[in-house]
Amino acid sequence: DITYNFKAIEKKWQDNWLNNATYRVSMESNREKYYVLEMFPYPSGRIHMGHVRNYSIGDVVARYKRFRGFNVLHPMGWDSFGLPAENAAIKNATHPARWTYDNIDYMRNQLRQLGLSYDWDREIATCNPKYYKWEQQIFLEMYEKGLVYQKNTTVNWCESCHTVLANEQVIEGACWRCDEMVDAREMNGWFFKITDYAEELLESLNQLGGWPDKVVTMQRNWIGKSTGLQCDFPVDGFANKETLSIFTTRPDTIFGVTFMSIAPEHPLLDTLLKDNPREGEVRDFVRRIIKEKQQQSNQDFTEKEGIDTGCFCINPFNGDKIPIFVANFVLMAYGTGAVMAVPAHDQRDFEFAKKYNLPIKPVVIPEDTLVQEKEMEEAITGRGVLANSGSFTGSDSEQAKQAIIDFAKSENIGDAKVTYRLRDWGISRQRYWGAPIPMVECDICGTQPVPVAELPVTLPEDRGAQQNDCAPLHQRPAFYETNCPKCNGKAKRTTDTMDTFVESSWYFARYTSPRFTESPLNSSEASHWLPVDQYIGGVEHAILHLLYSRFFTKVLRDLGYLNIDEPFTNLLTQGMVIKDGSKMSKSKGNVVDPSDLISEYGADTTRLFSLFAAPPEKDLEWNAKGVEGCFRFLNRIFRFVQAHLDTIKNGEVITSNDLNDTERELHRKTHQTIKRVTGNIENNFHFNTAISAIMELFNTLSSLSSDQQKDALGSSVIREAVDSMLILLCPMVPHFCAELWSTIHNDRFIDDEQWPSWDEDAAKEEELTIVIQVMGKVRSRLQVSPDIDDATLEEMALKDENALKFIDGKAIKKVIVVKKKLVNIVI
Ligand code: ANZ
Ligand code: ZN
Residue 281: its pLDDT value, please? 96
Which atom of ligand 1 lies closest to the CA of 364?
Answer: 31
The closest ligand to the CA of 384 turns out to be: 1
Nearest CA owner, ligand 1 atom 5: 346
- What is the CB < 6 Å shell around ligand 1? 226, 247-250, 253, 329-331, 334-335, 337, 339-340, 342, 345-346, 419
Name which residue sits closest to atom 10 of ligand 1, judged by CA: 226
Which ligand sits nearest to residue 173's alpha carbon? 2
Quick check: 125 and 387 in contact, CB under 8 A?
no
Mutate to test the pocket of ligand 1, among 222, 225, 231, 248 (most ligand atoms within 8 A of CB): 248
Beta strand pairing call for 490-493 and 439-442: antiparallel
249 Cα–ligand 1 center, Å: 6
Q: What Å distances lie between residue 184 and 163, 177, 641, CA to CA?
A: 11, 17, 66
Q: Of all protein residues, whose CA lies closest to atom 33 belonging to ligand 1?
A: 248
DSSP for 279-335 reads HHHHHHHHHHHHHHHHH-S-GGGSPP-EEEEEEEEE-TTT--EEEEEEETT--TTST
**Would you state the pLDDT for residue 85?**
87
Q: Which residues have C-beta within 8 Å of that of residue 363, sequence separation ≥ 6?
A: 252, 253, 255, 256, 342, 344, 345, 386, 387, 388, 389
| CA 670 to ligand 2 centroid distance, Å | 54
CATH for 35-126+195-221+504-640, options being 3.30.413.10, 3.40.1080.10, 3.90.1150.10, 3.40.50.620:
3.40.50.620
Q: Which of 73, 116, 81 is nearest to 99 (CA)?
A: 81
DSSP letter, residue 210: B
| DSSP codes of every residue in 369-421 | PPP-GGG-SS---S--EE-S-GGGTTSBHHHHHHHHHHHHHHTTSEEEEEEES
Instruction: Note the ligand closest to the C-alpha atom of 419.
Output: 1
Residues with CB under 5 A from ligand 2 (ion): 158, 160-161, 175, 177-178, 180
| Prediction pTM value | 0.87
The fold of the 225-420 domain, in CATH, is Isoleucyl-tRNA Synthetase; domain 2 (3.90.740)
Mutate to test the pocket of ligand 1, among 230, 250, 328 (most ligand atoms within 8 A of CB): 250
Cα-to-centroid distance, 165 and ligand 2 (Å): 8
Nearest atom within ligand 1 for CA of residue 254: 1
Q: Do 449 and 490 contact (CB within 8 A), yes or no?
A: no
- DSSP reduced 3-state for 248: strand
**Domain spans of the chain?**
35-126+195-221+504-640, 135-193+424-500, 225-420, 644-764, 768-826
Index of the ligand 1 atom closest to the CA of residue 344: 31
Classify domain 768-826 by CATH number: 3.10.20.590
pLDDT tens figures, 322-352:
999 999 999 998 999 999 999 999 999 999 9
Ligand 1 center to 410 CA (angstroms): 23
**DSSP three-state, residue 232:** strand
> How many angstroms does the Cα of residue 234 sit away from the middle of ligand 1?
19
Q: Is 396 exposed, middle or buried (0-12, 13-18, 19+ CB in 10 A)?
A: middle
Ligand 1 centroid–CA 157 distance in Å is: 27
User: What pLDDT score does 467 carry?
Assistant: 64
Counting other chains too, the contacts that 158-163 makes at CB distance below 8 Å and 24 or more residues apart are 158/182, 159/183, 161/83, 161/431, 162/430, 162/431, 162/466, 163/83, 163/429, 163/430, 163/431
| 426 CA to centre of ligand 2 in angstroms | 15
Output the CA angle 581-61-735, nearest 5 degrees: 85
Atom of ligand 1 lying closest to residue 345 CA: 31
Evaluate the CA torsion angle 183, 186, 190, 195 in order and state its sign: positive
Probe ligand 1: pick from 222, 334, 347, max atoms within 8 Å of CB? Answer: 334
| pLDDT given at position 449 | 97
Q: What is the pLDDT of residues 473-498, one digit of tens each?
A: 888 889 999 999 999 999 999 999 99
Mutate to test the pocket of ligand 1, among 346, 398, 422 (most ligand atoms within 8 A of CB): 346
Nearest CA to ligand 1 atom 32: 248
Query: How far, in Å, is the centroid of ligand 2 from the Cα of 675?
Result: 49
pLDDT for residue 151: 95
| Phi, psi of 81, deg, nearest 5 | -90, 155
Pairing status of strand 768-774 against strand 822-826: parallel
Say which amino acid occupies 200: E
> Whose atoms come closest to the Cα of 174: which ligand?
2
Dihedral angle sign, alpha carbons of residues 593, 597, 602, 604: negative
Ramachandran category for residue 310: left, alpha or beta (phi over 0 → left; psi -120 to 50 → alpha): left
> Helix %, strand %, coil % for the chain, to 5?
45, 20, 40
Let me know: does 210 contact 317? Beta carbons within 8 Å: no
710 annotated as belonging to a binding site for a ligand: no
Peptide bond into 477 cis (omega under 30): no
Please report, for residues 550, 641, 642, 644, 720, the alpha-carbon distance to residue 701 in angstroms, rounded to integers and kept in the order given: 49, 11, 14, 11, 11
Nearest listed ligand to the Cα of residue 335? 1
Residue nearest to atom 25 of ligand 1 (CA): 248
CATH homologous superfamily for the domain 644-764: Isoleucyl-tRNA Synthetase; Domain 1 (1.10.730.10)
Q: Tell me the CA–centroid distance for residue 337 and ligand 1, in Å.
A: 10
Q: Which residues neighbour 440 within 8 Å (Cβ) at sequence distance 6 or greater?
A: 447, 448, 449, 450, 482, 484, 485, 491, 492, 493, 494
Mutation probe of ligand 1 site: the residue of 154, 247, 289, 336 with most atoms within 8 A of C-beta = 247
pLDDT of residue 784: 87
Partner residues linked to 187 by β-bridges: 153
Which pLDDT belongs to residue 298? 55
ipTM over cut 0.85: yes
Low-confidence ranges of the chain (pLDDT < 70): 1, 295-301, 368-375, 465-469, 656
Whats the size of the chain, residue-wise?
827
- Nearest ligand to the C-alpha of residue 83? 2
Ligand 1 centre and the CA of 754: distance in Å? Answer: 60
Short-list 467, 480, 486, CA closest to 436: 480
> Which of 394, 425, 264 is CA-nearest to residue 329?
264
